[in-house]
């Protein structure tokens, strides 16, 4: 049945550095820098002060990519990688506040997916916080949460078990919870051309992303700018998304502080990711469809496409802020989750 086919399609979320910046800014806590001005904010400029770089860019990706072409500065490159990961690892989410990442995870269901291009641990910490909250609410989290986020560029503190193919934050444990093998460091995809997506764990996450995009109904791109060094990857993702049988009616939303014109140039003109006029651009998470229609985004979009219902109207019980209280989270998400569990019986 066409209606059911649309309703069961996944909502895919793609995250970039801007999403972590939005998450920490909303909580008024320190967070990792975006790529522009990264070295200055991370206080790592001294590492390359004697390197004769031609680029005048302040973007980490441009600087790193040129440094890779200078073999005589291999020591500086190695130190930059080490210090970058040390810098990234220092940021954490508080347990007593609700983050945008937690709201994002609670807004998705088991059929939906998150793919992150960030190196920080914030998304995985939010995932663990959501599991803990659901446990406190007596909710079986495995039945209502989306799958563990896929970290397409790796993660600074992620450990991976080669035997069981499980992963966990190494700040939580150093051994696999299933077989007790020592967790191997997750590889990092550094911003050089060509990027190495053939590394263990990374290759499987990219394959999964292409597979999921091939059946997605709704895509939200949050704080991911599509850097020049990602152009080959994004075109590959676009090639996976466009043959999707739903592509002509698929919706793409971009959450970004850039202008609508800049966003369109990146995702429509440069990468041909957006179909026709099926897109919206928002400057904050609280205005996007996932915030207004949590856990029902695809279903409500299907109703709009098939039955011409009023899709843009906010859900009657949802009025979300970027820093909601625990009571607000309970009021918004728990009735939706209980409805799902009741219908599943």
CATH number assigned to the domain covering 2-28+93-154+189-344: 3.40.50
Determine the Cα angle at 239 with ends 238 and 243, to 5°.
110
User: Which of 88, 145, 150, 98 lies closest to 119 in space, CA to CA?
Assistant: 88
pLDDT 10s digits, 243-270: 766 667 788 999 999 998 888 888 877 7
Q: Per-domain residue ranges for the chain?
A: 2-28+93-154+189-344, 38-89
pLDDT, residue 314, reads: 46
How many angstroms separate the CA atoms of 113 and 60, rounded? 28
Give strand ranges (E) for the chain.
11-15, 113-116, 150-151, 158-160, 167-169, 184-185, 218-222, 251-255, 279-282
Q: What is the pTM of this model?
A: 0.91
pLDDT, residue 317, reads: 47
DSSP symbols for 86-104: HHHHT----SSS--HHHHH
Highest mean pLDDT among 34-38, 157-161, 165-169: 34-38
Cα dihedral sign for 3, 4, 7, 9?
Answer: negative
Question: Residue 290 — pLDDT band, cuts 50, 70, 90?
Answer: very high
How many angstroms separate the CA atoms of 13 and 149, rounded? 10
Specify whether the backbone of 67 is left (phi greater than 0), alpha (psi in -120 to 50) or beta: alpha
What integer is the mean pLDDT of 149-158?
90
Task: Specify the DSSP class assigned to residue 295.
Answer: T
Tokens of 300: 């409500």
22 or 315, which is more confident?
A: 22
pLDDT, residue 180, reads: 87
pLDDT 10s digits, 23-66: 999 999 999 998 889 999 999 999 999 999 999 999 999 999 99
Highest mean pLDDT among 82-86, 176-180, 330-334: 82-86
């Amino acid at each position: 049945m066409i209606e059911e086919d649309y309703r069961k399609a996944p909502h895919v979320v793609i995250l970039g550095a801007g999403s972590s910046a939005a998450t920490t800014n909303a909580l008024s806590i320190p967070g990792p820098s975006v790529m522009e001005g990264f070295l200055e904010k991370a206080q790592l400029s001294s590492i390359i002060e004697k390197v004769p770089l031609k680029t005048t860019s302040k973007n980490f990706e441009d600087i790193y990519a040129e440094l890779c072409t200078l073999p005589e500065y291999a020591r500086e490159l190695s130190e930059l990688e080490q210090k970058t990961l040390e810098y990234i690892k220092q940021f954490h989410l508080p347990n007593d506040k609700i983050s945008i990442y937690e709201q994002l995870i609670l807004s998705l269901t088991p059929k939906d997916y998150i793919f992150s291009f960030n190196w920080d641990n914030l998304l995985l910490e939010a995932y663990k916080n959501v599991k803990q909250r659901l446990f406190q609410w007596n909710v079986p989290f495995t039945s209502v949460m989306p799958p563990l986020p896929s970290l397409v560029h790796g993660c600074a503190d992620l450990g991976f078990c080669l035997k069981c193919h499980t992963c966990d934050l190494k700040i939580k444990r150093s051994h696999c919870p299933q077989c007790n093998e020592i967790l191997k460091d997750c590889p990092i995809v550094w911003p050089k051309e060509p990027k190495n997506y053939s590394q263990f764990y990374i290759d499987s996450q990219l394959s999964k992303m292409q597979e999921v995009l091939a059946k997605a109904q709704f895509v939200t791109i949050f704080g991911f700018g599509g850097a020049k060094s990602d152009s080959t990857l994004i075109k590959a993702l676009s090639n996976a998304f466009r043959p999707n049988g739903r592509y002509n009616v698929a919706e793409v939303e971009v959450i970004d502080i850039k202008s609508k014109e800049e966003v369109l140039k990146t995702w429509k003109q440069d990468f041909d990711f957006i179909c026709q006029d099926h897109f919206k651009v928002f400057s904050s998470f609280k205005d996007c469809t996932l915030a207004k229609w949590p856990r029902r985004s695809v279903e409500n979009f299907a109703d709009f496409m098939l039955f011409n219902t009023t899709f843009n109207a906010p859900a009657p019980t949802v009025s979300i802020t970027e820093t909601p209280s625990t009571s607000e989270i309970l009021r918004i998400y728990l009735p939706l989750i209980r409805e799902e569990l009741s219908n599943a019986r």
